[in-house]
Copies of this chain bind each other. A is one copy, B any other.
Amino acid sequence: MSLTGDLSPDEFRAAAHSAVDWIADYLEHSERYPVRSAVAPGAIRAQLPASPPQQGEPLAAMLHDVEHTLLPGITHWNHPAFFAYFANSASYPGILGELLTAGLNANGMLWITSPAVTELEAVTLDWLRQLMALGDGWFGQITDTASMSTFYALAAARERAGFDVRTKGMAARPELPRLRVYCSEHAHSSIDKAVIALGLGLENLVKIPADDQFRMRAALLEDAIAADVAAGYHPLAVVPCVGTTSTTSIDPVTVVVRIARRYGCWVHVDAAYGGVAAIVPELQYILDGVDAADSFVVNPHKWLFTPMDCSVLYTRDAAALKRAFALLPEYLVTQTQGDAVNLMDYGIQLGRRFRALKLWMVLRAFGQDGLAERIRFHCELAREFAGMVHFEGGWELTAPVTLSLVCFRLAPSGATEQQLATLNAAIMERVNARGHVYLSHTKLGDRYTLRLAIGNIRTDRQHVELAWRELREAAAAITQGE
């Protein structure tokens, strides 16, 4: 039967070939565009029709609108001078993987609904584990974001604690103690969100002070847990971080694990950004202690050149995760259930994209050497940038450079913290508004700090040098009152 607006395969071929060429040009020349979109709030929306079309429109018209209407509203994460937040950049093999995933559109909710989805995920995540030089015995699964990975890890911890929250819930149970989670004051907000969602309550997320290098102070962790136990609380989990968001500091995982073990806590390591650096042989130490943890998260869509989204949760105790979430309604019963892993059993989501494909293609396209070389190069660029800052009068580094992030600021002598915050915010906004470079900021205690985060597949030395030029020019213009 022929239906209104049927698209011909030829129309698809033509449009998709055009899109491929457009993307290839875009990626070769993303420097044409301002890194940070310059549009005002509402400007993109105002250009789009308020109502959907009655009849279908040709694909070519949409490609035109993507380029002319939407593109000005894109902040270019693929731009080699994108230094804000943490990078996520799309490498060629990753894009190719996404294209194939969309075409196949397999849904790996059950093993049988596409065995290759489940099995390639297992193989690829085992490869990634080996690349990071971790021991075996880890169960890996892909989630969309680190926030979900951490949420699942803490759900497994809650289940393993033995209070049967799954069945009985947490309210109106006089026998149930407060369940407490510990992380450093520099931990990511995703831990707060997980604690909210799981019904643990933000009051029960204990933030342990960090040392002068922004690492969790393990002695204070032990004090906090001991005090909580004495007060009748139940210590549920500790979440040390390998590569914090503000400074990429690395919590002392080995010591944290040792303390946590004494109290029966689950240890979940947040290595969302930093974990993949262990692919570089001389950086393997950053995951010291992780093999003794219960779970950890690493995000290939950050520093492993895999398009959004792709986070990986590894757990030692997949059974706990499965006990937390597995349910088998009749309409999902299949004959093979005894023989194969059904990934829907390990989380909330039922539907599952074939995300492993893009990651597998990235790992194959670069190989261990290629990945290590890129990550090493990014760390080298960060050290070079830090050197430039360090030796320039009036500027200072505000945190150690552990990986590929540099924290720094202009700090003329005699200025108050409030003045420095205003000054550096103005420098950042001036640089970002020019559009050649994009960076972001954080606060370390009361110290307003700029962040230059390197990790884009296309970033080269010249882009880091450009950032430094732009920063000094902006600083000069502002301090000279322009």
Assess whether B369 is in contact with A130, with CB atoms less than 8 Å apart: no
Determine whether A94 belongs to the interface, using a CB cutoff of 8 Å to chain B: yes
Contact A367 B52 (CB under 8 A): yes
Contact with A145, one of B93, B245, B351, B367 (Cβ below 8 angstroms): B351
Among the 9-residue stretches A214-222, A321-329, A388-396, the one with 4 or more Cβ atoms under 8 Å from chain B is A321-329
Bound Cα distance from A451 to B333, whole angstroms? 13
The answer on a CB contact under 8 Å between A3 and B373 is yes
Interface flags for A373-391 (1: CB within 8 Å of B; 0: not) read 1100100000000000000
Q: Are A19's CB and B200's CB within 8 A?
A: no
Tell me the complex Cα distance, A335–B169, Å: 41
State whether B96 touches A52 (Cβ < 8 A).
Answer: no
**Cβ-defined contact, B99 with A144, below 8 A:** no
| Cross-chain contact A54 with B369 (CB below 8 angstroms) | yes
A440 to B332, CA, bound (A): 8
- The B-contacting residues of A in range 83-97, CB under 8 angstroms, are 84-85, 88-96
Contacts of A377 in B (CB 8 A): 1, 3
Provide the residues of chain B in CB contact with A20, threshold 8 Å: 13, 16-17, 20, 99
Chain B interface: which of A201-209, A260-268, A470-478?
A: A201-209
Closest to A442 in B: B331
Residue pair B192, A365 in contact (C-beta under 8 Å): no
Q: A3-B374, A170-B171, A172-B176 are in contact. Are A15 and B55 (CB under 8 A)?
A: no
Q: Contact: B52 with A364, CB < 8 Å?
A: yes
Q: Do A88 and B169 contact each other (CB < 8 Å), given the known contacts A3-B377, A114-B75?
A: no
Judge whether B51 and A370 touch: CB under 8 Å: no
Q: Is A190 an interface residue (CB 8 A)?
A: yes
Residue A78 at the chain B interface, CB threshold 8 Å = yes
Of the candidate stretches A104-112, A249-257, A289-297, the one touching chain B is A104-112
The answer on a CB contact under 8 Å between B45 and A119 is yes
Which single member of B15, B27, B201, B365 contacts A9 (CB below 8 Å)?
A: B27
Q: A45 — nearest CB in chain B belongs to which residue?
A: B119
Any chain B CB within 8 A of the CB of A227?
no
Chain A 419-454: CB-based contact to B (< 8 A → 1; otherwise 0): 000000000010000000000111100000001000
Indicate which residue in B5, B246, B364 contacts A331 across the interface (CB closer than 8 Å): B246
- Contact present for A102 and B107 (CB under 8 Å): no
B105–A89 contact, CB under 8 A?
A: yes
**Neighbouring B residues of A369 by C-beta, 8 Å:** 4-5, 54-56
Asked if A316 lies at the interface with its beta carbon under 8 angstroms from chain B, I say no
B56 touches A111 (CB 8 A): no
Are B27 and A74 in contact, CB atoms less than 8 angstroms apart? no
Closest to A190 in B: B350
Instruction: Decide yes or no: A37 and B327 within 8 Å by CB, A24-B9, A51-B127, A201-B170 being known contacts.
Output: no
A89 to B105, CA, bound (A): 7
* A171→B168 contact, CB < 8 A: no
A400 at the interface (CB under 8 A from B): no
| Interface members, chain A 1-55 (any B CB < 8 Å) | 1, 3-7, 9, 11-13, 15-17, 19-24, 26-28, 36-37, 39, 41-45, 48, 50-55
Query: Taking the nearest CB of chain B, how far is it from the CB of A49, in angstroms?
Result: 8
Nearest B residue to A174 via CB reads B174
Which of A280-288, A301-309, A409-417 lies at the interface with chain B?
Answer: A301-309
Interface presence of A223 (CB below 8 A): no
Taken together as a complex, chains A and B put the C-alpha atoms of A258 and B475 apart, in Å, by 62
CB distance from A391 to the nearest CB of B (A): 22
Cβ distance A225 to chain B, nearest Cβ, rounded Å? 17
Contact B197 A348 (CB under 8 A): yes
Contact of A7 with B441 at beta-carbon distance under 8 Å, contacts A145-B350, A203-B168 already known: no
Cβ B19 vs Cβ A100 within 8 A = yes
Cα A73 to Cα B325 with chains together (Å): 26
**A56 CB contacts on chain B under 8 angstroms:** 364-367, 369-370
A137 within 8 A of B: no
Contact A167 B203 (CB under 8 A): yes
